[in-house]
Amino acid sequence: MKTLTLKKVITISSLLSLLLLLVILFSITMGSVKIKPHQTITILFHSLLESGEKEREVEEMILLSLRLPRILLAGLVGAGLSMAGVIFQVLLRNPLADPYILGVSSGSAVGTILAILLGFSATSLGLPLASFIGALFTIGIVFYFGRQNGKIHPNTLLLAGVVTGSFLSAVILFLLSLSQKEELHTILFWLMGDFSFSNFLSLRIIFPYIFIGFLFLYSRSRHYNLLLLGDEGAIQMGLSVERLKVLSYLSASLITAASVSVCGLIGFVGLIVPHGVRIVLGADHRLLLPSSALLGASFLILSDTLARTLLAPVELPVGVITAAFGGPFFIYLLRRRKGVKTL
């Protein structure tokens, strides 16, 4: 592993942050109602300076109440899923691992479908809360069956996640068979990823998980570098491997659960973004984690922008867009990865 300097981390993170800012400004101008870039910047600037309630114009309402929270939420979810993908890939020593590999997505889906069938979707916190509870319940089951003799074995944990996810998938199919037509549309749209109900409340719900999770994971980025040596090598270097694994699995799972709870299941983001960044920038987690978070945010914002504008006024599930881009791009990366370091 090449020596990584602080200057390089700051430089690349700054460039990716600038890219993210440009993506946000581009995305917020796109939609069925066209708003010019200079008008967008003026509205955003005035909203930061002004305080208190006032009557807003149509363009201002569209930007600040509809597009801005949706774009910010997509960015947070993209960053969260990408970070979780990085952690699962290093802990499971599998570059094909994604944030949903331990069955968190299935648990979230069961919780959400139950909330819709029971009528809790009418409240603003109904679906996110039910989804998060379902994900936490799944995490508890997977960790209970995935530990042996007080230790976490990646293969055992992975098997527990796959089995639990398969069982919950059967539960999902059963619940779908009980759904009415109106409920079925809502459920299917959520299962494919949906930001149409985004608001600032959703942002406040998941921001602590994403932000605190990033701080915790990044503070242990050097430890993840040691894990690349293998468990025995990391232990010889003085690392408490089992403690790191438990805390990291839980942190990544909570980030995934929080992300899924507000937007549904969005595939490929946590798979191709970390893998692509690792191929281009290397496997040092001091750079890999922030770069994946920033690039994941930009990728999902652009995907959601395309989802809501491609067939406007009809809106596509964002998961369809990420899959359309993610599948071919991932194949391209695999074919171009000659001489690249892997996990």
Q: How confident is the model at residue 339, as a pLDDT?
A: 46
- What are the sequence ranges of the domains in the chain? 6-49+56-336
Instruction: List CB contacts of 198: < 8 A, sequence separation 6 or more.
Output: 69, 70, 73, 74, 262, 263
> What is the H or E stretch that residue 148 is in?
strand 147-148
Largest CA-CA distance found in the chain, in angstroms, rounded: 64
Q: How confident is the model at residue 229, as a pLDDT?
A: 85
In contact, 295 and 82? CB cutoff 8 Å: yes
| Tens digit of each residue's pLDDT (9 = 90 or more) over 312-325 | 778 888 988 998 88
| Tens digit of each residue's pLDDT (9 = 90 or more) over 44-77 | 776 666 655 555 677 777 788 888 999 999 999 9
Strand partners, 152: 147
CATH code that applies to domain 6-49+56-336 = 1.10.3470.10
> Which residues of the chain fall below pLDDT 50?
339-341
> What is the H or E stretch that residue 199 is in?
none
Strand partners, 148: 151
Long-range pairs for 328-334: beta carbons < 8 A, 24 or more residues apart: 329/272, 329/276, 330/268, 330/271, 330/272, 330/275, 333/272, 333/275, 333/276, 333/279
